[in-house]
């Protein structure tokens, strides 16, 4: 999952559910905290998340970390480059995964439909990552955090009374490393959104979206919304 602003051109083709799966392999299960693969590992399988949440990370020698993506249900993780994984992948919660052979992606073979679908998933991945560039390069802390919550609301928000509830299985540090911020800034931004009644925190890992419209405005850098909120 990347933080993408659904563009006008995608409205048609939103993959709301999980397609794929004329399955050749049986489901993989992973416990929260377990690693699915490490950077440098030879790629044997790709996986589509069926339930649970994964976290893909890369490290710099000096310890700086970037969370590349979170893997939510429907997402496909493990695309190879030169046959290898280029991130670490950890399960943040218990997770169920549908594996696909790397050869199905790369050669197709006996599964032309699946081959095609995996390729399309890779292409959508490229486009989604481009959106994420915009976020990392050009958005403020408030915009980043608000965008993040908006995307999660749309993808995995659950109705909770008249509001939407979003569970955050990842730590503040994970969110920070995903958005290019520090944990302190993420924490402060949550506080700020909470104080301005845009969200509420049911507990540390559960957010209630009180004013989705305001959150969206903040996500898109609406300056009026920023000022109203500061007051």
Using the rule CB under 7 A, is 136 a contact of DNA? no
CA 109, 17, 176, 183 dihedral sign is: negative
CB of 166 to DNA, least distance (A): 14
Q: How far is CA 65 from CA 4, 5, 56, 76, 168, in A?
A: 21, 24, 11, 22, 19
User: Which does residue 123 bind out of DNA, a second copy, none, counting CB within 5 to 8 angstroms by kind?
Assistant: a second copy
Number of H helices, E strands in the chain: 7, 12
What does the per-residue mask of binding to a second copy show for 202-221, with x meaning CB under 8 A? ------------------xx
**Is 67 in contact with 55 (CB distance < 8 Å)?**
yes
Picking from 59, 56, 103, the residue whose alpha carbon sits closest to that of residue 78 is 56
| Cβ-Cβ contacts under 8 Å for 193 (sequence gap 6 or more) | 142, 145, 146, 149, 199, 215, 218, 229
What does the per-residue mask of binding to DNA show for 43-82, with x meaning CB under 7 A? ----------------------------------------
Using the rule CB under 8 A, is 179 a contact of a second copy? yes
Candidates 73, 108, 180, 221; binder of DNA (CB under 7 A) is 180
What does the per-residue mask of binding to a second copy show for 56-75, with x meaning CB under 8 A? --x-xxx-xxx-x-------
**What radius of gyration, in Å, describes the C-alpha atoms of the chain?**
18
| Pick 73 or 221: Cβ nearer a second copy | 221
Using the rule CB under 8 A, is 101 a contact of a second copy? no
- 49-68: b (≥16 Cβ within 10 Å) or e: bbebbbbbbeeeeeeeeebb
| Pick 57 or 103: Cβ nearer DNA | 57
User: Which does residue 129 bind out of a second copy, DNA, none, counting CB within 5 to 8 angstroms by kind?
Assistant: a second copy
CB of 26 to DNA, least distance (A): 29
CB of 68 to DNA, least distance (A): 17
β-partners of residue 47 are 77, 99
Segment contacting DNA (CB under 7 A): 18-26, 55-63, 83-91, 165-173? 165-173
Interface contacts to DNA, rule CB under 7 A? 140-142, 171-173, 180-188, 190-191, 201, 203-205
């Amino acid at each position: 999952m990347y933080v993408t602003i659904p563009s006008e051109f995608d409205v048609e083709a939103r993959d709301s559910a999980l397609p794929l799966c004329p399955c050749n392999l049986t489901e993989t299960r992973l416990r929260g905290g377990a690693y699915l693969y490490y950077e440098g590992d030879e790629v044997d399988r790709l996986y589509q998340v069926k339930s649970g949440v994964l976290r893909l990370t890369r490290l710099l020698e000096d310890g700086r970390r970037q969370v590349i993506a979170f893997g939510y249900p429907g997402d496909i993780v493990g695309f190879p480059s030169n046959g290898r994984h280029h991130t670490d992948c950890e399960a943040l919660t218990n997770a169920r995964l549908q594996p696909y052979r790397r050869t199905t992606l790369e050669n197709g073979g006996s599964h032309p439909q699946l081959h095609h679908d995996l390729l399309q998933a890779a292409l959508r991945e490229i486009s989604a990552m481009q959106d994420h560039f915009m976020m990392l390069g050009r958005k403020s802390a408030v915009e980043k955090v608000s965008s993040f919550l908006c995307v999660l609301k749309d993808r995995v928000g659950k109705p909770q009374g008249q509001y939407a509830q979003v569970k955050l299985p990842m730590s503040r540090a994970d969110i920070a490393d995903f958005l290019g911020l520090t944990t302190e800034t993420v924490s402060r931004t949550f506080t700020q959104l909470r104080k301005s009644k845009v969200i509420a925190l049911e507990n540390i890992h559960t957010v209630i979206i009180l004013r989705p419209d305001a959150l969206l405005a903040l996500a898109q850098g609406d300056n009026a919304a920023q000022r109203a909120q500061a007051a």
